[in-house]
Structure 1
């Protein structure tokens, strides 16, 4: 599928062809676009749902501008490098560095328009490669941040959780901006999806580099209640599984504490083994220094102070 081409109107919309009659059903841009099959066939101009005659010959349309008044916009490599890509890169950086739950004043309409023009002017491949290259550079910075606290379990887990959450939040803004490129290049030519490609990039460049250390630390702190807040632990494990469910195979016991159906179904033949595991867990809890056990017949603390009226 060829990439779409785009035309821009530079004529005077008030001029009309004297030999044609005015049809109020079409505005100037639709009447012009209908005469150019290359625009409609490639997706740059959409059809209106109520336009039942859109597939007919262009002779049935009435042009509102004289022939020759339409010019093609030219987008050079210099324009792309000095105007379009810098704007997009600035918006990407804002999204990547935005704190979770924060708001960034980005004009999505303007950014989408930049992507639209680049795609229509045959810059799809360049735009896609620049996007991946820029995100890869950002991930080098993420790795350096993680390496700076890799020697301590809790700071490392909290930093990793924050950076992963921040990146996934950024994708929720980046992917819509590049939606036109996704439709006409990534899906059509690469047979893939932009969101999946950017998530795989994060797995390859960041998660895979630190997954062994991360799972070891998660396993250690999970044995100490509230060493890391439960929401952080649950979010960390769920996000890892969503990025790549094969991570659960590296430590099924850890993932099974937060996600269902990780371990195989219960086998009745292993009931004695399950009972032994439960006994060992109870012994471990009883041996903890902060654990105190009370007899079942003992009164609850402050029971005498509870009013029954």
Structure 2
């Protein structure tokens, strides 16, 4: 009887240990599969706007416990997974991977965007670059990526500034306009591509915005270095109608105002022609002066080949006086 009792107790104990081993083994498999699914992260194609999952590796203690439980169940082969295989399973991007694989792709794409001309076809995959940025943010490389981006664009703008310095005066305004337009156009593509870095690093940790930072770079490395050479040329061009095209003048003046509004004080009259409410409202005592300025402009236009149209129904000089006074009363009163 004692032997039978001992056998029953022994059998019960063996069954309990076997059950616990199976349970531990199943728990380890579930933990491993869960870690693998977590490492894959949310699909970019199905949900590109999902919030990045941050740490992708399971805690070391949990992994050791799982391995210990697995060993009791006879799954010793699972413990022999080496570091490289584990890194592949968890899809980890090391700093070496970032520097050798991910950043070179971003660097090449940024180069093309910064140097493209309006209407050019850029042979890059926006989806690939977008995915590349997303993965680097998930793997905690935002700080390094932001530093690399700022350094890349700063070097580009310094080259642009040197090229402008070598430009002759008759081409200076046009080349500055091209450089400004090209850079602002590039930002329309660069900023959206780095939207995850902007959201989860620049806005969150730096309390800034990527677009503002990149506009500031152009201000510091190009505009500030050329404003005192550029402004006299703009004022000279303003005094000579159609020395440069009106669209070029408007683009530069509006661009300078966007970069640094206080530059208005350097030439208020120039900025007031393209930016509303720059000058104070017109007063009645200045209407004659405004009319004289308008008459002068009309005479200059006629000297450059612009006619006033059919004058058969008006007396000589009537249109100049009428248009000058009415134009100043209607337009300058709203400055």
Q: TM-score, normalised by structure 1?
A: 0.69
Structure ranking higher on relative contact order (CA contacts 8 Å, 6+ apart):
1
Which residue number corresponds to residue 209 of structure 1?
Answer: 225
RMSD, aligned CA = 3.2
- Distance in 1 of aligned mates of 2:119 and 2:90: 42
One of 242, 258, 262 as aligned partner of 1:226: 242
Match of 2:205, SS?
Answer: coil
Which residue number corresponds to residue 173 of structure 2?
Answer: 157
Aligned residues: 242
Which residue number corresponds to residue 146 of structure 2?
Answer: 128
1:221-279 deviation line (CA, Å, top 9, x unaligned): 01111111111111221222223322223211101111211111223xxx233423432
- Distance in 1 of aligned mates of 2:151 and 2:254: 27
Which residue number corresponds to residue 289 of structure 2?
Answer: 276
Match of 1:71, SS?
Answer: helix
1:42-89 deviation line (CA, Å, top 9, x unaligned): 9325xxxxxxxxxxxxxxxxxxxxx99993222222211111111100
Q: Equivalences for 1:1-309 in 2 at 5 Å?
A: 32-33=37-38, 43-44=51-52, 71-149=89-167, 151-152=168-169, 154-267=170-283, 271-280=284-293, 282-283=295-296, 286=299, 290=303, 296-297=314-315
- Distance in 1 of aligned mates of 2:165 and 2:140: 40
Q: Is the 8 A contact 1:285 1:291 kept in 2?
A: no
Richer in helix (by share): 2
TM-aligned CA distance change 1:223 to 1:77, over 3 Å: same
Q: Is the 8 A contact 2:137 2:197 kept in 1?
A: yes
